[in-house]
Structure 1
Amino acid sequence: MELHFAVASDGHYGEPGTDYQFRFSTLVNALNRATKANRLDFVVINGDISHGGLASARQAKLALDGLQVPYFVTQGNHDELTAAEWERVWGAPGNQLHRFGERSIVALNTSNAAGDYLCPNQAWLAEALRSEAAQSDVFVFFHITAANWTKHGIDCPAVRKLLAEAGNVRAVFNGHDHDQVARKDDAGLPYFFDGHFGGSWGAAELTYRDVVVAEGTLTTRLLTLDDSVLSSTSLNW
C-alpha cells in the first residue's frame, strides 16, 4: 500500500518585508490541489513556520488549518517558542512519532525559544527508533540538518550514526537551508531538502517536496507552488 506525503519548510510567517500571508495561502492551495488529485496521507511543515513569537505562530496555525489533509510540524530556530508555548499553539510536543500501517514517521525539534541550533534529542530518537524496529520503513523529519555540509548545518555525528544504523530509516527530510533543493547522503542514507516557501532569501522558486512510498521504493519530486516539477528522483531498497 502506498504512502503519499508532502513536506514544506521555512514559511517565516510574520517576517517583515515578505508577503508571508500570500505565500502561506499559496502553499495551502497547492497542497489542497495535490491531495484532490492524489490523496495525501499527511503533510509535514518542517520548521521556521513563523518568524518569532506566539502571535506569529498562532496566525501561521490559522493559515495552515486551511489544509484539507492532516499535518504535522517541527520547530525551527526562527519559531522561538518554549516547549510549553509550542505545545499550546500546535497541540503536539516538539518530538513526535506517528504510524501509518507498517510505516512510521519521526519528527524532531532542533531549536528552542532562543533560536539556538540544536541537534535532535539523541536519547529520544534512539528510543523512538527502537520502538519502530519492526516497522517496514521509517522517515525522519527535522529542521536543521545534522551535518556541516551546508553553511547553516550543525554537526551531529551521533544522530547521523543512529539514523544510519537503524536499518529501516529510508530517508531524512530537512529544512532551514533555503538555498538547498536537492539531496545529500551520509553512510548510505539520503537527506532531502525542499528549499523554502517563504522568507527573504534562498532559491529563486518557492517549493515543496512530494513523496510517494511503495514497496521497497520512494519517488520524490520538487514542486513549485504553481505545480511545476523542478526535479524528480527515486530510491530503491
Structure 2
Amino acid sequence: MKKNIKDQSRRIFIRQISLASALLLSGKITDLSASEVYGLKSKVKLRFAVASDFHYGQPDTAFDEMTEKVINQINLFNKTNKLNFCLINGDIIHNEKSFLPLVKKKIDQLEVPYFVTRGNHDMVSSEFWNEVWKMPLNHSFEAKDSAFILADTSNEQGTYVSPDLVWLESKLEQYKSKKNVFLILHIPQAKWTKHAIDTPDFFTLIKKYPNIRAGLHGHEHDQDGVKMADNIPFLFDSHVGGNWGTPYKGFRVLELLNDGTLVTYMMNPTEKLAEMKY
C-alpha cells in the first residue's frame, strides 16, 4: 500500500512539473527532466515557492476562485514536498486598497510562512501596506545560509520605479558573506519584456556581488522562463490571476541542494506543459 501511494505521488509530481532547470555554481544552466527533479528530492537543503500577480479584485475575473485555488495548490504541494516559505511577488490586489485586507485573509491560509512585495497594482501607501502585512515595503530575511532581499519597485500611484539602490547596496553589503543571495522584485529592471523598465545602475551594483544566485520577477504574466544578466538568472513565474498571460496559472519552486546547485521548475497543477530548454 505504501509503495502504491509513493508511486502515485511520484506520477502526480512528474505530471505537474514543467520548465525544470539546474543552475550550477559555475553559472551554467542545464535542463532537467521531471524524473530527474524528483530523484533529487533527498538532496534538497532549502525549498521555497514564489507566486505573483493575484490581481485580487480585478473586475470581470474569478479573482476569489483563482486565489483560493493557488493557496490550496501550494498547501497540497507542501504536504509531500516540504516548503520552508513562500514569496508573494507583487500585484496581489488590483488597484483598490480595500481588497488588501481581504486577500490577506486568503493568503493567511498558507500553511507555510510567507513574505510579500508590492506591485504596481498594489496602489496603497507604505503606511497602509505595513499596517496590513506587518512588514515594510523594503525588507529582507535569512534562511539556512541564504539571504532574501525583497525590494519595492512601484509606488502608491502604480508607477514603475527602480528599487532604492542605496538601501539595496546596504543589504548586499550586510549579506556579502552569505553563500546565496536572492533578489525579489516585482518589476524587471531591464527591457527584456514589454512592461519592464531600464535601470543600468541596478546591474552595475549587483555585478559587485558574486553571491547573488538569482533574481525573481512577477509582473509579466506571459513569462515563465529566464533572462540572464552577467551570469545571474532572472526567473519569471507566470501569474495566478488577471485576465491575460500564459494559458495556465501556476507557481515557481526553487530548491537549493546540499552541493549548492539551484534547481527550479514551474508547477502547473491543472495541465502538463511541454518542457522547455534554456
TM-score bracket for the superposition, by shorter chain length: over 0.9
Residue 266 (structure 2) aligned to one of 211, 222, 226: 222
Give the TM-score of the pair, scaled to structure 2. Answer: 0.81
User: Is this contact kept in 2: 1:221–1:229, CA < 8 A?
Assistant: no
Residue 93 (structure 1) aligned to one of 136, 148, 160: 136
Letter of the 2:264 partner, please give it: T
Q: Deviations over 1:90-122 (max 9, x none)?
A: 110001110112111111111111000011110
Alpha carbons of structure 1 residues 59 and 112: separation in structure 2 relative to 1, 3 Å: same
Residue 77 (structure 1) aligned to one of 120, 123, 148: 120
User: Is this contact kept in 2: 1:77–1:111, CA < 8 A?
Assistant: yes
Letter of the 2:260 partner, please give it: G
Bigger Cα displacement from structure 2, 5-14 vs 99-108: 99-108
Aligned residues: 234
d(CA) in 2 for partners of 1:174, 1:108: 11
Letter of the 1:182 partner, please give it: G
Alpha carbons of structure 1 residues 218 and 10: separation in structure 2 relative to 1, 3 Å: same
Letter of the 1:219 partner, please give it: V
Letter of the 2:168 partner, please give it: L
d(CA) in 2 for partners of 1:118, 1:231: 33
Point out 4+ residue stretches in structure 1 off by more than 3 angstroms: 225-234
Please state how far the C-alpha of 1:229 moved relative to its aligned partner. 6.2
Task: Give 2:246's aligned residue.
Answer: 203
Task: Give 1:14's aligned residue.
Answer: 57
Q: SS at the partner of 2:270? A: coil
Matched, 1:193 2:236: yes
d(CA) in 2 for partners of 1:142, 1:89: 20
Task: Give 1:156's aligned residue.
Answer: 199
Give the TM-score of the pair, scaled to structure 1. Answer: 0.95
Please state how far the C-alpha of 1:8 moved relative to its aligned partner. 0.6
User: Is this contact kept in 2: 1:210–1:221, CA < 8 A?
Assistant: yes
| Runs of at least 5 residues in structure 2 that lack an aligned partner in the other structure | 1-43
Give the structure with higher Rg (CA).
2
Letter of the 1:53 partner, please give it: E
d(CA) in 2 for partners of 1:217, 1:233: 17
Task: Give 1:143's aligned residue.
Answer: 186
Task: Give 1:3's aligned residue.
Answer: 46
Bigger Cα displacement from structure 2, 167-176 vs 157-166: 157-166
Q: SS at the partner of 2:166? A: helix
Letter of the 1:72 partner, please give it: F
Letter of the 1:190 partner, please give it: P
Matched, 1:103 2:174: no
Alpha carbons of structure 1 residues 58 and 6: separation in structure 2 relative to 1, 3 Å: same
Matched, 1:182 2:240: no
Q: SS at the partner of 2:264? A: strand
Question: In percent, how many aligned pairs have the same letter?
Answer: 37
Alpha carbons of structure 1 residues 105 and 45: separation in structure 2 relative to 1, 3 Å: same
| Runs of at least 5 residues in structure 1 that lack an aligned partner in the other structure | none
Matched, 1:30 2:76: no
Alpha carbons of structure 1 residues 123 and 231: separation in structure 2 relative to 1, 3 Å: farther
